[in-house]
């Protein structure tokens, strides 16, 4: 397959697969509150495959925004990530990823190292209220997961945890893109 020879159904399929990996990353939160608070790190590692495959073939502006919109729209339908800003983070992360990729070259492997972390950070929209609305989040955790889980959530509602989450998400996302290039050699050949 040559670069930029992408069919709409392939893009949609990869967008849905990307969402499945974002959802899988969020489901790790059922294991432990730490897994939930750092789910964007897990997601950055899990969802890089569909991102890399799509980025190699969609070498124009809009691919990151498309992936952010897919996650946003499915979360809207599923009534997940409540609130406007939570959902907007998905789209903003994708849009910033597109801008970065456009500035550094849509056909560049190195641009992906810089762009993918922004898309991965957009997934913080799923649980950003953990830090922006701590009491609301704590009360919801009691209702959904029980007192012990909610106490674990409360222990993670510090600004330094959010900063650590952001730093780890960026680092894992950049490393994941590099690893994806080593694994998916066909896609890597389509990029400079």
Whether 144 maps to a domain, the answer reads no
Whether 133 maps to a domain, the answer reads no
Identify whether the C-beta of residue 100 lies closer than 8 Å to the C-beta of residue 118.
Answer: yes
Structural domain span for residue 66: 8-124+162-189
Whether 147 maps to a domain, the answer reads no
Can you tell me the distance from the alpha carbon of 182 to that of 28, in angstroms, rounded to the nearest whole number? 26
Whether 134 maps to a domain, the answer reads no
User: Residues 7-22: pLDDT tens digits?
Assistant: 999 999 999 999 999 9
User: Residues 90-124: pLDDT tens digits?
Assistant: 999 999 999 999 999 999 999 999 999 999 999 99
CB neighbour class for 104 (10 Å; exposed up to 12, middle 13-18, buried from 19): middle
pTM, full prediction: 0.92
CA dihedral sign, ordered 50, 125, 115, 45: negative
- Counting the structural domains of the chain, the total is 1
Residues with Cβ within 8 Å of 108's Cβ and at least 6 positions away in sequence, in order, are 101, 191, 192
Q: Which residues of the chain have pLDDT under 50?
A: 1-3
């Amino acid at each position: 397959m040559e670069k930029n020879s992408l069919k709409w159904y392939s893009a949609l399929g990869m967008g849905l697969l990307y969402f499945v990996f974002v959802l899988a990353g969020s489901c790790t939160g059922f294991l432990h509150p730490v897994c939930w608070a750092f789910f964007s790190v897990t997601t950055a590692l899990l969802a890089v495959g569909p991102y890399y495959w799509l980025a190699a073939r969609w070498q124009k502006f809009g691919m990151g925004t498309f992936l952010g919109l897919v996650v946003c729209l499915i979360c809207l339908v599923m009534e997940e990530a409540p609130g406007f800003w939570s959902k907007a983070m998905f789209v903003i992360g994708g849009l910033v990823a597109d801008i970065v990729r456009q500035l550094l070259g849509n056909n560049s492997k190195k641009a992906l190292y810089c762009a993918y972390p922004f898309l991965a950070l957009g997934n913080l929209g799923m649980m950003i209220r953990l830090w922006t609305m701590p009491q609301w989040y704590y009360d919801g955790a009691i209702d959904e997961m029980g007192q012990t889980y909610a106490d674990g959530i409360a222990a993670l509602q510090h600004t330094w945890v959010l900063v650590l989450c952001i730093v780890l998400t960026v680092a894992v996302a950049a490393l994941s893109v590099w690893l994806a290039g080593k694994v998916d050699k066909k896609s890597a050949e389509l990029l400079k």
